[in-house]
Amino acid sequence: MSRFPRRRGLIFWPVLLALLSLACSRPVDTAQAENQSLQPDAGLPFGDAQTLPVGTLVTVRLKNPIAAEGPGFSGVFDAVVDEAVLVEGNPVVPRGASVEGRVESAQASELRRNRAYVRLTLESVHVGGQDFPVQTSSLFVHGSAGQAPALEGTPPSQVIGLEGGRRLTFRLTEPLSIANPARNKPH
């Protein structure tokens, strides 16, 4: 047998790899590359120093316990911002800012005793003497389930509770613009 076919196989693979690497590369648009280098802020997620983008995390601490009665329960809760939300090192939402949220639903487990969840969202944040509407994704929080005392002639109801002081982290689903009152005042 001849060794010629073996040599052809050795040459075939490097040539194929070289052609594939050329085919997979994209031509560089020098005008676009130069234009991007002139705009240093083009890649920043914040368009304005007072606007928080979608996806920003807001960590709060419950002021009071939450007691949700039954699956159809909805109500409000109060919390405070536990970690300042910073943009470029400046607090846009300071630690301790008041927050109001909504209990969307509550459900006790039918399979496991004393297991339940509460579905929460944030609705507003109080900054600089103003309330700003907030839209966040729903947060499902494990709670404890128990029986509420029954009134005469009614069956006891299921109560799902979250303890006060509990720390919760929400994610913004819409940008949050905080107007700086000091910046808007005429001099």
Extract long-range pairs of 67-71: CB within 8 Å, 24+ residues apart.
67/159, 67/160, 67/161, 68/103, 68/106, 68/118, 68/143, 68/159, 68/160, 68/161, 69/106, 69/148, 69/157, 69/158, 69/159, 69/160, 70/106, 70/157, 70/158, 71/105, 71/106, 71/107, 71/108
As a residue count, the chain comes to 187
User: What's the whole-number average pLDDT of the chain?
Assistant: 75
In the chain, which stretches have pLDDT less than 70? 1-10, 12-13, 16-49, 70-72, 110-114, 147-157, 180-187
Read off the tokens for 174: 């819409």
Domain 53-149+157-175 in this protein, CATH class: mainly beta
pLDDT of residue 157: 58
pLDDT of residue 56: 94
pLDDT of residue 16: 66
Instruction: Give dist(CA 27, CA 12) in Å, integer.
Output: 26
pLDDT of residue 132: 95
